[in-house]
Chain A
Amino acid sequence: MRPLTPALAPGLVFALAFLPVVAQEAPQAFIGARIIPMEGPEIEQGVLVVQGGKVIAVGGADLAVPAGAVRHDAKGKVIMPGLVDTHSHIGSPEGADSSAPIQPEVRVSDSLNLGSASVMKARAGGITSVNVMPGSGHLLSGQTMYLKLREGQTLDALAMGRLPNGSYLGGMKMANGTNPRRTTGPFPGTRAKSAALVREQFVKAQDYQRKLKEAGDDPKKRPSRDLAMEALVEVLEGKRVVHHHTHRHDDILTVLRLSKEFGFKVVLHHVSDAWMVADEVAKSGMGASIILIDSPGGKLETKDLRMTNGAALEKAGVLVGFHTDDPITDSRWFIREAAFAVRAGMSRQAALEGMTLSGAKLLDLQGRIGSLKAGKDADFLLLSGDPLSVYSHVEQTWVEGAKVFDRSDPKQRLYAVGGHGASHDTDDLTHLMALEAEETYQ
């Protein structure tokens, strides 16, 4: 990330923020680091070459550095793919409100503040891709958004893509168990009611989908647009993965039954009791995004959470990713979860993949991110030591060949270690908002 210079005129900062990164710069070579490419063995004294936002080559000391490449000495460092956080609430997201338990038309993208300190802290923690989820307390609280933490603070600058209807690439947030239960309003009061309400909506969506199909290309025969149903049809068609909050063993199985009944793809999130039903999860073929925190408890559904969750799921053959659920866990300690998982018996490889390649697979983005492989996005970290050591720091975070965090810059270091002002939104945002205000009120 460029230095945040307050002396720059707001307009100039604005212009810089939107300069396209496509300018075909010279290749950059990072030489001498231990490289953990994630696919394939770790490479001592490795060389990573990136250009045009993509990985060009990864290899050992004998890899030829292209002529004219900018050379970065990375001796003594460790390079690994940028981290993929499969469930986070950075950027002050909001989703569905208290008026209904199921609100598929609500998009988290319409609420994000991408200049918030939480986004800066995520970059400082080495997170380069993140699934930002709308709030909590609903059976279905809206559409999530997959962000790439490039520089910039606009949705377009950070989006991973769009669906045909213009909505940003992301999944659908759902929840069961105690999370959506309320004693008032149109919310479910029991687990069976929760499932019944979800089933009812998916039946409606199937009906809507059938009508759309029958209408074919004839606009006159098409049902009138229903944004909620459109979004659920995206789920039924596999264009949106369901990211499902669920803790208790029986609730996990309920999610799997509904997923099978309607044929939607689901990622099981949190899954505190997954170790009890690991084989059933494995049989379903669905993946899990887990969180490992300091201790069990804090609510009834996490009373049996164990650090062995990752190990149990790995043993059963389940694809396991991790998430911070920031602010439940700060984005800056994401790597600690992988270390905890290893502490409790998960393999080092599965734990490292859980933060990168497995996370990418859970988001269906493994073709673009999650490993350092020629053709994939040049998202990577420079660490001062082994990623699983508490003593290692993320020194630099790179997204698509551009540095977005540098610990040696005092202003950016503030977001890594904290201190006065570290929870304030970035200077860039202040400039951006001033500019927007100027344009609005001219």
Chain B
Amino acid sequence: MSRLALIFCLTAALHGQSIAIQAEALHTVAGPVIADGVVLILDGKITAVGKASDVKIPAGLAVKRAKVAIPGLVDGRSTVGLSGLLNQSHDQDQLEASAPIQPELRAIDAYNGRDPLVGYLRSLGITTVHTGHGPGALISGQTFVVKTDATEVTRGVLKAQAMVAATLGDGARARDGKAPGTRAKQIAMLRSELVGAQEYARKLKDAEKGKEPGRDLRKEALAQVLRRELPLLVTAHRAQDILSLLRLAKEFDLDIVLDGGAEAYLVLDALKAAKVPVILHPTMARSFGDQENQSLETAAKLQAAGIPFSFQSGFEGYVPKTRVVLWEGAMAAANGLGFEDTLRALTLTPARLLGLGDRVGSLEKGKDGDVALYDGDPFEFTTHCVGTVINGVVVSEGEDTRPLSR
């Protein structure tokens, strides 16, 4: 090693962004499991991955060891940071109930990276969350993607605008004579909004310089959806709602992502033909209402059908205030999906689905140094997360569920 490189390494180590991780079982997701593997992270980025015998760890670099290492987990859909732990009105920002359609609401304007639940998830190995406005309104607002070590949104934001969140079915039904009161009305309202946004975009394009229409933030956000810059993330559970969504997507040539999908197993062919990826409802979500027919085996069926899907922690209105995507995956792993496919749906698939496949989701040279460490099979409920690393920094040394010391 040249003297210059050595100085560089030491400096990076001092800054805490360089580290070597050595694991008895290293799951890179990019390739087969490496027994006694090493991930080398320099200046926040992965520079080498391989067998311990093949990867030279620079002298003086901190080495963190664990039984099992996997890529930092990517939560496909959450409201964490917006739906706070206390569940009091002052810390619930995932749903603005004043109007059914508000695509201009941005997640970055509401995210509280210091909510204890963010830290809780981080301590269990979740390093990236796709979070923001929740289900519960026809269009509730936008989502964004952030690393779980970002206490402020001045850093760690991977995508300030990720998707526009919508809901179909009973979850978006308004009561007391307000619209939308029916499923057909929901689609009619969405169609009308999208047509309005189309016209707005056309007027903007056709207008002479200086004579453009005044800015309409709501239509601007939907115009981004129409231009396929932002996918429409639609929460729908019943088969009929999923099919309504596919019709709407075709009508407006939208880039859509299905969120939830409790009855997705009934419409696999249609989803596959429409090339729609799925962010599957939490495996252990409660089986009520539109979700009464959900199954623990839907993940395995999506996998068999070749439909890309990711797990999610979702939104909870009551207890538990957040689910843990790791455990939602675990339950699917035990119900037909198996270890490898589950791990992929917790890491690389959501990363790609979010357009971040070059940054996170697998342990490969050039990607962010995000790693989760466990003292056994991560999917066993009795296993502990023994460390979380983000951009080469150890951000957590263990769960807050660890044994009492007193």
Q: A327-B286, A391-B334, A419-B293 are in contact. Are A344 and B403 (CB under 8 A)?
A: yes
Q: How many residues of B contact A (CB 8 A)?
A: 47
Stretch from B12-20, B134-142, B222-230, B325-333 that touches the partner: B325-333
Chain B residue numbers with a CB within 8 Å of A299 are: 87, 318-319
Are B320 and A343 touching (Cβ within 8 A)?
no
Give how many A residues have a beta carbon under 8 Å from the other chain's beta carbons.
42
Which of A303, A308, A336 interacts with B401 by CB under 8 Å? Answer: A308
- CA A311 – CA B88 in complex, angstroms? 29
In contact, A296 and B293 (Cβ under 8 angstroms): no
When distances are taken between beta carbons in the complex, the residues of chain A under 8 Å from B292 are 422-424
Find out whether the CB atom of B320 lies under 8 angstroms from the CB atom of A417.
Answer: no
B324, CB-defined interface residue at 8 Å: yes
Which residue of A is nearest B84, CB measured? A297
> Which of A276-320 touch B at CB < 8 Å?
293-300, 302-303, 306-308, 311-312, 315
From A298, A306, A389, A391, name the one whose CB has the most chain B CB atoms within 10 angstroms.
A298
For residue A177, give the distance in angstroms from its CB to the closest CB of chain B: 14
Flag if A339 contacts B401 (CB, 8 Å): no
Q: Is A330 close to B, CB under 8 A?
A: yes
Report which residue of B263, B319, B401 has the largest number of chain A beta carbons within 10 angstroms of its beta carbon.
B319
**Chain A residues with CB below 8 A from B399, complex form:** 343
A340 contacts which chain B residues (CB < 8 A)?
381, 401
For B370-406 the 0/1 string (1 means CB < 8 A from A) is 0000000001111110000000000000011111100
Question: How distant is the Cα of A307 from the Cα of B404 in the complex, in angstroms?
Answer: 10
- CB of A275 within 8 A of chain B? yes
B143 at the A/B interface (Cβ < 8 Å)? no
A330 to B292 CA separation, bound complex (whole angstroms): 13
Q: Is the Cβ of A345 less than 8 Å from the Cβ of B320?
A: no
Chain B residues in 8 Å Cβ range of A336: 381
Give the docked Cα–Cα distance between A393 and B331 (Å). 11
Taken together as a complex, chains A and B put the C-alpha atoms of A60 and B100 apart, in Å, by 65
Question: Which of B87, B287, B400, B403 has a CB less than 8 Å from the CB of A422?
Answer: B287
Closest to A414 in B: B295
Which residues on B sit within 8 Å (CB–CB) of A312? Answer: 404
B296 interfacial contact with A, CB 8 Å:
yes
Residues from chain B with a CB closer than 8 A to the CB of A295 are 85, 117, 120, 320-324
State A308–B403 Cα separation when bound (angstroms). 6
Which A residues touch B379, using CB under 8 A?
A: 390-391
* Contacting pair A343 B383 (CB below 8 A): yes
Contact, CB under 8 Å: B401 / A343: yes
User: Is there an interface contact between B404 and A330, defined as CB atoms closer than 8 Å?
Assistant: no
Taking CB atoms, residues of chain B closer than 8 Å to A422 are 287, 292-293, 295
Does chain A have a CB within 8 A of B47?
Answer: no
Contact between chains at B318 and A298 (CB < 8 Å): yes
Q: Residue A216 at the B interface, CB < 8 A?
A: no
CB distance B284 to A330 under 8 Å? yes
Flag whether B349 is at the interface (Cβ < 8 A).
Answer: no
Query: Is B355 interfacial (CB-CB < 8 Å)?
Result: no
In the complex, A203 has a CB within 8 A of chain B: no
Asked if residues B319 and A333 are in contact (CB atoms below 8 Å), the reply is no
Interface residues of A in 317-374 (CB under 8 A from B): 327-328, 330, 333, 336, 339-340, 342-345
In the assembled complex, B266 has its CB within 8 A of some CB on chain A: yes
- A392 cross-chain contacts in B, Cβ below 8 A: 334
- Decide: A294 and B320 in contact? CB cutoff 8 A: yes
Residues of B within 8 A of A388 (CB): 380-382
- Partner pick for A389 among B287, B322, B380, CB 8 A cutoff: B380
- Are B85 and A345 within 8 A (Cβ)? no
Report if A298-B321 is in contact (Cβ < 8 Å); known contacts: A339-B382, A390-B334, A418-B293.
Answer: yes
Question: Is B333 within 8 A of A390, CB to CB?
Answer: yes
Which chain A positions have C-beta within 8 A of B384? 343
Rounded to whole angstroms, the CA-CA distance of A306 and B320 in the bound complex is 12
Question: Closest Cβ of chain B: how far from A423's Cβ, in Å?
Answer: 4
B321 touches A315 (CB 8 A): no
A200 shortest CB reach to chain B, Å = 31
Q: B86 contacts A303, CB within 8 Å?
A: yes
Q: Which of A95-138 contact B (CB under 8 A)?
A: none
Name the one of B295, B321, B322, B381 contacting A417, with C-beta atoms under 8 angstroms. Answer: B295
* A-B interface pairs (CB < 8 A), number: 130
CA distance A339 to B335 in the complex (A): 18
CB neighbours of B320 from chain A (8 A): 293-298
**Nearest CB on B from A159, distance (A):** 27
Query: Quick check: is B316 within 8 A (CB to CB) of the other chain?
Result: yes
Instruction: Check A328 against B333 for contact (C-beta < 8 Å).
Output: no
Query: Cβ of B319 and Cβ of A308 under 8 Å apart?
Result: no
Bound together, the chains give a CA A419 to CA B292 distance in angstroms of 8
**B297 within 8 A of partner (CB):** yes
Q: Which residues of A are found within 8 Å of B330, using beta-carbon distances?
A: 390
Least distance between A331 CB and chain B CB atoms (Å):
11
Q: Does B196 sit at the interface, judged by CB under 8 A?
A: no
In the complex with contacts A299-B87, A418-B287, A294-B382 CB distance below 8 A: no
Q: Are A297 and B284 in contact (CB under 8 A)?
A: no
**Docked CA distance A295–B401 (Å):** 10
Q: Is B294 an interface residue (CB 8 A)?
A: yes
How far is A243 from B86 in the complex, measured between Cα atoms in Å?
26
Q: Is A421 an interface residue (CB 8 A)?
A: yes
Q: Is there a chain B Cβ closer than 8 Å to A420's Cβ?
A: yes
Partner of B85, one of A293, A303, A328, A330: A303
Whether A417 touches B319, Cβ cut-off 8 Å, given contacts A311-B404, A330-B284, A344-B401, is: no
Query: How long is the Cα–Cα vector from A1 to B8 in the complex, in angstroms?
Result: 69
How far apart sit A298 and B87, CA to CA, in the bound complex (Å)?
5
Please pick, from A306, A339, A419, the residue contacting B381 in the complex, using a CB distance under 8 A: A339
Query: When the two chains form their complex, are residues A297 and B86 in contact, meaning their CB atoms are under 8 A apart?
Result: yes
Residues of A within 8 A of B263 (CB): 420
With contacts A308-B401, A340-B401, A390-B333 taken as known, whether A296 is within 8 angstroms of B381 at the C-beta atoms is no
Report whether B381 and A343 are in contact in the complex, using a CB–CB cutoff of 8 Å: yes
A306 touches B284 (CB 8 A): no
B116 within 8 A of A: yes
Contact residues in B for A423 (Cβ distance below 8 Å): 287-288, 292-293
Please indicate the chain B residues that have their CB under 8 angstroms from the CB of A393 in the complex.
334
- Whole-angstrom distance between the Cβ of B83 and the nearest chain A Cβ: 9
In the bound complex, CA of A61 to CA of B370 (Å): 50
What are 28 sample pairs from A and B whose C-beta atoms fall under 8 A apart? A294-B322, A294-B323, A294-B324, A294-B327, A297-B84, A297-B87, A306-B400, A307-B401, A308-B404, A311-B403, A311-B404, A327-B286, A343-B381, A343-B399, A343-B401, A344-B401, A345-B403, A345-B404, A388-B380, A388-B382, A390-B333, A390-B379, A417-B335, A419-B297, A420-B263, A422-B292, A423-B287, A424-B292
**Which residues of B are at the interface with A, using a C-beta cutoff of 8 A?**
84-88, 116-117, 120, 263, 265-266, 284, 286-288, 292-297, 316, 318-324, 327, 330-331, 333-335, 379-384, 399-404
Q: Closest 8 A-B residue pairs measured CB to CB?
A: A345-B403, A298-B319, A297-B85, A339-B381, A423-B292, A294-B320, A297-B321, A307-B401
Having A296-B120, A297-B320, A302-B319, one finds 18 other A-B pairs with CB under 8 Å, namely A297-B116, A297-B321, A298-B319, A299-B318, A308-B401, A343-B401, A345-B402, A389-B382, A390-B331, A390-B334, A390-B379, A417-B295, A417-B335, A418-B287, A418-B295, A419-B265, A420-B293, A424-B292
